Structure 1
Amino acid sequence: MNTMANKRFQENEKKIQESFISLLNTYDVNQITVRAICEKAKINRSTFYAHYQDVYDLLDRLEIAMNNKIVAQYKGREIDEIFFISDEFFIPFLDFISKNQIFYKACLQKRKSFPISQGFEALWNIVIKPISLKHGITSEDEMMYYFVFFQAGITMVLKRWVDNGCIETPSEISSYIMNCLSRFR
């Protein structure tokens, strides 16, 4: 039986993911079909559907895995509002995005919802709420507008950067973000 713990299942999942990312080098995500992924991975459609519902499910789950890799870079670090809004935080984050820009271009291309769904509580509790309170903002509804602004702004900066091929260095993009956030500190 081919289960998630099964080595063959895991190998097929890796082939599906690698084939998908390879196709992203040539095609926009909305042009990639399950059939194309299966042909590239040399698997049957039923094997694909044992892993994912469709191409967008694959993209979403890969995004979660990639975001977990980003978060792993900061394990063992004390995250506070000063660290979070610093080059020390943004440069490794941006470097990771730059190294995986084809994938993130696809993710940001489909972005239509709240940019950060995972890790929401940490960003809210460590950054947004303390900074808002420091500036006399006590309404959580008002804080949420700042949060949405913060997320959307950074997401669109990332989108522009990857759409342009990550021409600027992570350090340059970090400095642009820091300049935008300087009023927020």
Structure 2
Amino acid sequence: MNTKNNKRFRDMDKKLKATMLELLETTDFEKITVKSICETAHVNRSTFYAHYSDVYEIMEQMEEHLNEELLESYTGSPQEKDSVFPMWPFIPFLRHIKKHACFYRTALKQRRDFPLKQGYEPMWNQIIKPKCIAAGITSESEMLYYFVYFQAGFTMVLRRWVDTGCHESEEVVARIIENCIPAIWNTIQ
């Protein structure tokens, strides 16, 4: 019986995702097919279709998995937070993006919004909202405009970073991002 709780099913799911990541390192996403995934993983197409309906679904589920991994990374130690504050909220995010750069290179190509559906909470709660409140902005509606602006810029900075091979350190990119939000930072400083 093939269910998501079955260990063999879960192991095959991991294998298919690993194969997808392997292919993303050498092949443009648009050229990856179910057939190429199956051939590389040495599995039948029926096995793939027991898990996913197409290559878009596997990417979507990989993004959800990586999102969970990212959220877990925000449990950094207080020493780490103090050592790079106020950049600290960016550092775990950037480390995560760098670790999975081949996936995000593809995921960010067509993005205009934040790369992870739930990955924004730490940045909203630890950066945008406190900075807006400190600047005297109390309307959450107005804060959301700052955040939308921040999301678009942040996403494009990430895209450039992964497109150029993540050569700059996470700290350098965090500083660049921090300096890119002068409307909030300059009001407070």
Match of 2:106 in 1: 106
Trace 1:16-31 onto structure 2 (pairs within 5 A). 16-31=16-31
Instruction: Give the 3 Å change call, closer, same or farther, for CA 140–183 of structure 1 in structure 2.
Output: closer
* d(CA) in 1 for partners of 2:168, 2:125: 31
Q: Which stretches in structure 2 are left out of the alignment for 5+ residues?
A: none
* d(CA) in 1 for partners of 2:160, 2:146: 21
Trace 1:115-134 onto structure 2 (pairs within 5 A). 115-120=115-120, 123-134=123-134
Match of 2:153 in 1: 153
* d(CA) in 2 for partners of 1:2, 1:84: 47
Instruction: Give the 3 Å change call, closer, same or farther, for CA 84–63 of structure 1 in structure 2.
Output: farther
Q: CA deviation at 1:71?
A: 1.6
* d(CA) in 1 for partners of 2:40, 2:48: 12
CA root-mean-square deviation: 2.6
Trace 1:15-164 onto structure 2 (pairs within 5 A). 15-75=15-75, 86-120=86-120, 123-164=123-164
- Number of residue pairs matched by the alignment: 183
- TM-score, length-scaled by structure 2: 0.83
Instruction: Give the 3 Å change call, closer, same or farther, for CA 163–39 of structure 1 in structure 2.
Output: same
Counterpart AA for 1:170: E
| Misfit runs of 4+, over 4 Å | 82-85, 119-123
Trace 1:4-15 onto structure 2 (pairs within 5 A). 4-15=4-15
Instruction: Give the 3 Å change call, closer, same or farther, for CA 139–91 of structure 1 in structure 2.
Output: closer
Identical residues among aligned pairs (%): 47
Instruction: Give the 3 Å change call, closer, same or farther, for CA 175–129 of structure 1 in structure 2.
Output: closer
Instruction: Give the 3 Å change call, closer, same or farther, for CA 126–98 of structure 1 in structure 2.
Output: closer
* d(CA) in 2 for partners of 1:169, 1:123: 19
